[in-house]
Structure 1
Amino acid sequence: MSDRIKAGLTRLFEEHRIVFWYDAARDMLRAEFDAVDLEGVEKVEIANNEFGLKYRMLRVEPKQKFLVFKDGPEPAMADNWLLDVQLATAVFKADQAAIWLAELGLPGKYEAAVRDHMAFYRSAARLDRLKAMEAEQPSDSVSAVRRKMLAVCAGADGALDTVIEALLGELAEDSDEASRLMDRSGLTEFFWKQVANAYGYVSDEPDFEDFAITLFQSCYCRALGEDGKLNAEALLVFRRWKNNRLGSDAFETLSLKYQDILRIPEDLRDREIKALRPIDHFEEIDRQIIRTLVAEMSSQTVTAAEVLKTVRERRQSHWYRTYADVYEAIGYATEFQQALSEAALRMTSPAEGVKRYVTSWFRIDQLYRKFIYHMQKSGQASLLGALFESVENRYTTSFLLTVNDAWQDQVAKMADWSVPGYSRQSDFYIEQAAEFRRRDQKVVVIVSDALRYEVAEECLREIRKLNRFDADLKPMIATLPSYTQLGMAALLPNKDLMLSDNGAVSSFGNPTQGTANREKTLGQGRAGDRVKAMKADDFMNMKADDGKALFRDHDVLYLYHNRIDIVGDKLATEDRVTEAAEDAIEDLTKLVRKLTTANFSNILITADHGFLYQHRPLDESEYSVADPSGAEILVKNRRFVIGRGLEDSAGMKKFTSEQLGLSGDLDVLIPNSINRMRIKGAGSRFVHGGATMQEVVIPVLRVGKRREADVGKVDVQIIAPNRNLISSGQTSVALYQAQPVSEKQQQRDLLAGIYAQDGTLISDEHQLTFDFTSQNPRERELPITFLLSREADRFNNQDVILKLRERVGKTSHFEDYTSHRFQLRRGISTDFDF
């Protein structure tokens, strides 16, 4: 104990010249007194010599420090002849409570904060933590000390709300260690008084799980605009805890547990979606919203605007990451239905049909594909079942069949396979790739197997998001039949393209199948060109220096990429083609970046053919009714027949090789519209080879590199009320996204909150994503309501600041993006003095 006594006395002598020390219990403090040796301090003892001591301390040695010891209790005030001196100086108490009080640097009036909770102080670790908290922010009342003791017990930061969060975390783990420590420390009664004053929780037998259930129930009711047992401060604490990533697991555990206790599923049945949109207290809310949206969309009783607004608002839900793909699927289904309803699927010529397809109709294919992809990824097929049936039926019947029946009417009139005004695939090399060589520029061509036009359009947008990259997309008409061997050959320099009896293709009289043969054919182009053909994966695996050497040593490079066809063209994997399309877009974006790193700046991306895809297994009506017939049937595919002397059929269109721009004497039959032929063991959902728009309108994506940075984020502005005044417990502002999101103006993610000038957060925080694409400025406004905390009352009649903060890279740090100053002037402040 000697070190603690010495330390306590030293602190007192830093402020006082005279210190009194009474050994009231005569419990060995005489020995401690005798042992104390403080530099510059004279030890004296009271022994019927009060007047002599007073004269010496006040008159004889007025600057000397004195430690005045009495072997016995402090006299009553009437009998204490040194009372006037004692009142002007300090009294040292050497019992355990006094020592702890001295260690904390607290005045004697806070003695109850120690003496009533002795068990708390018997842990050196707890005492050290409390000392650190006192050093950081000294207490101004006994209650303040006790609140810090609660925080130490709970392992929290200090404020009552952090204690609640810590106890909720413990509750989620089925532990009560902190609660038991509070009880052993004599703090339980104080804790519940604090909770009652702060949050309005009152109970004859307070229990923390009862408080937790009441918290969930009250916050749910208040969010719905109904009365709750707890006050608005409880709602603020709940929001902070729910949105804090450190409390996420605990929130989810308790929420899932209590939604059944509180009978939330039953309560939600009679709620309207509009009331539920901003609420995420229970996972069942998201499921109810999804079920309702699916039902209303399937029956077409909800507008696209309402659906998209709901989906957008749910992005702020705590459970969004669980249902992100479900909401994405719903969003794409909504856009699909809207696009389909606006499409006039008519044409008067092949050229008009292609123009309409590449202008707008392709988007319906794209939205359908995105819907299927997110539905599969979500793993919630049953939840989305009714919506899938609706989308699938409308896609197949109202779009795919309708548009291709109209297109088939145009194809049926064709004498030769060509569309006026649009490039043919067989002219690609001479018109596109060789254009760069005529200017003595190097060029790389990426041929992505089955890169349908709509997939390439999405790839275009992803490439344009890259800094200093630009790209444009044009359509091209594939050769018929639209299958790999012929499409690949047509993209090379070619002469006398010819189908063989087994479906292989020759050009310049030589085979074109396989990378080696394609490289030889590529060499038939411009005389003197150094050419190379290789797989895209092999290029991606190259080291940087090898890539630059490849650029240095070659003039024309053809890279062959295969993600979509290799998955879709197999019966076992054709249902994963939408995932393969996503992978293809990611691959091509990475490939473009690596090519530019290797100094390639002229990049063309194209395809050998497109594809038809329907996710649901086909109906009988979607198979061709006629079996092909003729002198010699050589090759039979789901979507084409090659032979000699083939006969015309009501269900098929016949082309001769000459009509297709090919050499040789073979005929080709193409099933009408989207019909397939029956082929044992072959997949039927993913097909190509025919003449539908999805198969034959293929992309030419031209990519270039800019010298200057051209990618930024949208600007966000704060639109405050005319009076920059906050006069109640909540305030609303509008946040405005100045530009629509585009490839070059990307989304901005911000964290919004209201702060005092010293940096204290005095409201709830909102994580916000600004990614509005609308051209209408009013549709890019985001209204936000901030709920002020009890802490805000400390800053009443002061300026406070609404801050929008942005994450620094991928770190956990934020920097101010923009701010707006308000005056906080609330007429009636909350009573915090407890």
Structure 2
Amino acid sequence: MSDRIEAGLKRLFEEHRIVFWYDAARDMREEYKAVTLPGVEKVEIANNEFGLKYRVLRQEPKQKFLIFKDGPEPEMKDNWLLDLQLATAVFKADQAAIWLAELGLPGQYEAAVRDHMEFYRSGRRLDRLKAMEAEQPSDSVSAVRRKMLAVCAGAEGALDTVVEALLGELAQGRDEALRLMDRAGLTEFFWKQVENAYGYVSDEPDFEDFAITLFQSCYCRALGEEGKLNGEALLVFRRWKNNRLGADAFETLSRKYQAILRIPEDLRDREIKVLRLIDHFEEIDRQIIRILVTEMSSQTVTAAEVLKTVRERRQSHWYPIYADVYEAIGYATEFQQALSEATLGMTSPAEGVKRYVTSWFRIDQLYRKFIYHMQKSGQASLLGALFESVENRYTTSFLLAVNDAWQDQVAKMTDWAVPGYARQSNFYRDQAAEFRRRDQKVVVIISDALRYEVAEECLREIRKLNRFDAELKPMMSALPSYTQLGMAALLPNKELALSDDAGVTSFGIPTRGTSNREKILGHGRDGDRVRAMKADDFMAMKADDGKALFRDHDVLYLYHNRIDVVGDKLATEERVTEAAEDAIEDLTKLVRKLTTANFSNILITADHGFLYQHRALDETEYSVADPSGAEILVKNRRFVIGRGLNETAGMKKFTAGQLGLGGNLDVLIPNSINRLRIKGAGSRFVHGGGTLQEVVIPVLRVGKRREADVGKVDVQIIAPSRNLISSGQTAVALYQAQPVSEKQQQRELLAGIYSQDGTLISDEHQLTFDFTSQNPRERELPITFLLSREADRFNNQDVFLKLRERVGKTSHFEDHTSHRFQLRRGISTDFDF
């Protein structure tokens, strides 16, 4: 305490030569004795007033004096030193005065201290209040009290930050700040401030009652209905809801109050169009999803309407929780649209392949993406009706229909070949060796079961990488479309032949296993230094080892297995869509590491594709064919190998020669998508047969460019014709100038309205611009901004709508674009929202 007394006295002596100190309670003598101030003479009043006056005015007119009296200040008529006292300063040594002096506040603000003594008994609180005063001095007692509220709540200063902090405590089941306000005598002041700012009136104000009223009022206002609180409350609610720091508290209270306010019951009769832009309660998202699923299942909603709703819900607070649900709905919509536009017929095998790689593959892809996001969402029941609709249409209207048509073409074949399309057995000669003929090094990545449609998505991911480009072409796999034959066909080969156990030989050498494949790779070109290894082993290499691998080898074959290892097991086949996502991520990383190791010619291909249906198969999807012949050596879900096999109804027979293979074995392939019954084997993920999904495989050629070629989409502000804000809110449209593509990537922006000095005067919106549509209208995002009371200070001035972008991962932002408005509106106690 003595330190505070000395500090207070020092401040007074900076402006005055003489300071009086009256110890009214006669309890400050020890503190007086302890005071030591350089250059200040300490004297006492003890029936010596005349002598003191003579000394300080005549004898020592330049000396500083601290004049102490042990007792209260005399009445004015009895105060012999009154003229001297009025011309100098009086030090009040009671606690309230000391604190007032510490804050540097004038005496008229004494009530802000004396009425709230408990607040100042904490040095930490006092220091925080002093810092706030230093930053922005108060101009009234109320201003000091507002800062005291902020200190009690651990807030930044303004009333809205106090409310946000109290909502955070409420969500955690705590009330320390409210109890501190009460002990400090600030409760009545707090509720008066809340009433003035937000229109909350109650005979017995309670903070949880205020919180419930806040949720209820903002929900009603969002629906265009009357709310008990005013527009400023809506602005505070929006800011709090959209602030990531308050996300947990908002979610906790929202989930609690949606039951109290009977939101689920209220939503039952609401139309989806009035809910699209509201996210006050999680139940709103669930209701929107239910409506979408129901309407999509019954096909009573257009694809455009669904995609518009999904696009708008990306701005919902709850979107991260339901992102996979919305993604699933979006992919299901695109699937239905693509299927409705497809004509699943062909007049030749070449036409069938062309149409598949041009458009039909997209239906497989959209189905896979739907299943993946449905599984990832964990909301199978919520999406149940939609899954049934998609699954039925995929299986019956696409998978079966397109492959029945394809089977008609396969049935006419004498040899397994499609004119105009490369054969897998010629891959090394036509693709890999092409680089060696130019004395360039090449790396081939063989990803087991990398279906064409998965490779097409991988193509787009690789093209997103800066300075990378890629192209995709189809190739026809060997038949049967299974691993051992496909892997062998991709090597240099001569006299490929099936063995009795479904193994494959080339150059008379078994092709099973990495070491055997490396031996066969050595037959490609005399003098080539070759290496075959697992992709995982390459990824585990240090950077220098990778560069040494490039230096010491001309041809590198990397074997990657993510899809087949999961899909080809009964216990894990239902996770194949997840495995496809992992495969794309793996291959993208693999490409980046290869280029770091100096490999610039990269080919990605597959041994075969696959069929996949998520639901367990119906009896009708199993083949009734009963293969027979002299000797059945191998029987798989999708093929039979044997000697002297008979022509069998429901199956297509090929001799080894017709398949381009050596030996005297025969092969039977079940028609279309039918599976043979094999005990213990998986049936949903299969390959080995002749469907388009199994035999049309990718050749993905990856290259590196010298210059950077990846940027972000541009976002523009479409403002009203009059650049005028005349009410408490303003609506604009934000336009994404280009669709997101591999080389034009998404942009995340923070949008708000600011004064010329940079003060935020509206709510802020965190926005992601990732629209892929070619239709410009579908890349517009309407946004409504609510002005705060802070905007009053800038009326009749220019203000700016700014779109700001984070600088890297820092806390700093830079302007992406801005638009000038003039703020010209009548001031109102309640903003006219």
* Shorter-chain TM band: over 0.9
Relative to structure 1, is the Cα distance of residues 2 and 584 closer, same or farther in structure 2, using a 3 angstrom cutoff? closer
Counterpart mapping for 1:402-551 below 5 A: 402-551=401-550
Where 1:476 maps in the other structure, the secondary structure is: strand
Contact 2:111 2:141 in 1 (8 A): yes
Counterpart mapping for 1:540-579 below 5 A: 540-579=539-578
| 1:199 aligned partner | 198
**Deviation sequence 1:495-541 (CA, Å, 0-9, x none):** 11111222111112221111111111111111221111111111111
**Deviation sequence 1:35-72 (CA, Å, 0-9, x none):** 64544445566678889978987899776655455555
**Deviation sequence 1:461-480 (CA, Å, 0-9, x none):** 01011111100000001111
- How far apart are the structure 1 equivalents of 2:822 and 2:76? 53
| 1:274 aligned partner | 273
- How far apart are the structure 1 equivalents of 2:520 and 2:247? 60
Q: Offset at 1:826?
A: 2.5
AA of the residue aligned to 1:545 = D
| 1:12 aligned partner | 12
Greater shift in the superposed pair: 731-740 or 442-451: 731-740
Q: Offset at 1:691?
A: 0.7
| 1:616 aligned partner | 615
Greater shift in the superposed pair: 796-805 or 614-623: 796-805
Where 2:191 maps in the other structure, the secondary structure is: helix
AA of the residue aligned to 1:640 = F
Contact 2:149 2:181 in 1 (8 A): yes
AA of the residue aligned to 2:582 = D
Q: Offset at 1:775?
A: 2.2
Greater shift in the superposed pair: 368-377 or 134-143: 134-143
AA of the residue aligned to 1:581 = A
Where 1:754 maps in the other structure, the secondary structure is: strand
Where 1:571 maps in the other structure, the secondary structure is: coil
Relative to structure 1, is the Cα distance of residues 691 and 819 closer, same or farther in structure 2, using a 3 angstrom cutoff? same
- How far apart are the structure 2 equivalents of 1:8 and 1:771? 60
AA of the residue aligned to 2:389 = S
Q: Offset at 1:81?
A: 7.2
Q: Offset at 1:33?
A: 4.8
AA of the residue aligned to 1:167 = L
Q: Offset at 1:125?
A: 1.8
| 2:382 aligned partner | 383
Contact 2:43 2:68 in 1 (8 A): yes
Q: Offset at 1:204?
A: 0.4
Q: Offset at 1:798?
A: 3.0
- How far apart are the structure 2 equivalents of 1:665 and 1:363? 39
| 2:104 aligned partner | 105
Where 2:766 maps in the other structure, the secondary structure is: strand
- How far apart are the structure 2 equivalents of 1:749 and 1:88? 64
Relative to structure 1, is the Cα distance of residues 667 and 2 closer, same or farther in structure 2, using a 3 angstrom cutoff? closer
AA of the residue aligned to 2:359 = S
- How far apart are the structure 2 equivalents of 1:345 and 1:674? 15
AA of the residue aligned to 1:749 = E
| 2:343 aligned partner | 344
Where 2:782 maps in the other structure, the secondary structure is: strand
Relative to structure 1, is the Cα distance of residues 396 and 82 closer, same or farther in structure 2, using a 3 angstrom cutoff? same
- How far apart are the structure 2 equivalents of 1:706 and 1:21? 82
Q: Offset at 1:79?
A: 6.6
Q: Offset at 1:644?
A: 2.0
**Deviation sequence 1:74-110 (CA, Å, 0-9, x none):** 4556776766765565332111111111111111100
| 2:180 aligned partner | 181
- How far apart are the structure 1 equivalents of 2:31 and 2:536? 82
Counterpart mapping for 1:84-163 below 5 A: 89-163=88-162
| 2:815 aligned partner | 816
Contact 2:477 2:696 in 1 (8 A): yes
Q: Offset at 1:725?
A: 2.7
Counterpart mapping for 1:308-327 below 5 A: 308-327=307-326
CA RMSD of aligned residues (A): 2.1
Q: Offset at 1:721?
A: 2.9
Contact 1:452 1:694 in 2 (8 A): yes
Contact 1:24 1:73 in 2 (8 A): yes
Contact 1:24 1:72 in 2 (8 A): yes
**Deviation sequence 1:1-28 (CA, Å, 0-9, x none):** 4332221121122234444433444x14
| 2:625 aligned partner | 626
Relative to structure 1, is the Cα distance of residues 788 and 62 closer, same or farther in structure 2, using a 3 angstrom cutoff? farther
Counterpart mapping for 1:76-91 below 5 A: 89-91=88-90
- How far apart are the structure 1 equivalents of 2:20 and 2:791? 44
Where 2:419 maps in the other structure, the secondary structure is: coil
Greater shift in the superposed pair: 585-594 or 650-659: 650-659
- How far apart are the structure 2 equivalents of 1:404 and 1:226? 55
Where 2:717 maps in the other structure, the secondary structure is: strand
Contact 1:46 1:70 in 2 (8 A): yes
Contact 2:231 2:830 in 1 (8 A): no
Contact 1:119 1:185 in 2 (8 A): yes
Contact 1:452 1:698 in 2 (8 A): yes
Greater shift in the superposed pair: 39-48 or 575-584: 39-48
- How far apart are the structure 2 equivalents of 1:443 and 1:3? 79
Query: Identity of counterpart residues, as a percentage?
Result: 90
Structure 2: give runs of 5+ residues left out of the alignment. Answer: none
- How far apart are the structure 1 equivalents of 2:432 and 2:235? 62
| 2:581 aligned partner | 582
Where 2:821 maps in the other structure, the secondary structure is: strand
**Deviation sequence 1:712-739 (CA, Å, 0-9, x none):** 1111222333333322211222222222
- How far apart are the structure 2 equivalents of 1:47 and 1:404? 115
- How far apart are the structure 1 equivalents of 2:778 and 2:54? 86
Greater shift in the superposed pair: 349-358 or 502-511: 502-511
- The TM-score normalised by the length of structure 1 is 0.96
| 1:306 aligned partner | 305
Where 2:208 maps in the other structure, the secondary structure is: helix
- How far apart are the structure 1 equivalents of 2:751 and 2:698? 43
Q: Offset at 1:375?
A: 0.7
Alignment size in residue pairs: 831
**Deviation sequence 1:395-420 (CA, Å, 0-9, x none):** 00010011111111111111211111
Contact 1:793 1:829 in 2 (8 A): no
Where 2:659 maps in the other structure, the secondary structure is: coil
- How far apart are the structure 2 equivalents of 1:158 and 1:55? 51
Q: Offset at 1:269?
A: 0.6
| 2:220 aligned partner | 221
Q: Offset at 1:460?
A: 0.3
| 1:707 aligned partner | 706
- How far apart are the structure 2 equivalents of 1:90 and 1:459? 81
AA of the residue aligned to 1:262 = L
- How far apart are the structure 2 equivalents of 1:522 and 1:31? 98
| 1:603 aligned partner | 602
| 1:244 aligned partner | 243
- How far apart are the structure 2 equivalents of 1:193 and 1:237? 17
Counterpart mapping for 1:657-736 below 5 A: 657-736=656-735
- How far apart are the structure 2 equivalents of 1:33 and 1:529? 98
- How far apart are the structure 2 equivalents of 1:4 and 1:547? 69
Q: Offset at 1:446?
A: 0.6
Q: Offset at 1:487?
A: 0.8
Greater shift in the superposed pair: 722-731 or 344-353: 722-731
| 2:261 aligned partner | 262
AA of the residue aligned to 2:374 = M
AA of the residue aligned to 1:428 = F
- How far apart are the structure 1 equivalents of 2:416 and 2:41? 115
Contact 2:792 2:827 in 1 (8 A): no
AA of the residue aligned to 2:320 = R
AA of the residue aligned to 2:7 = A
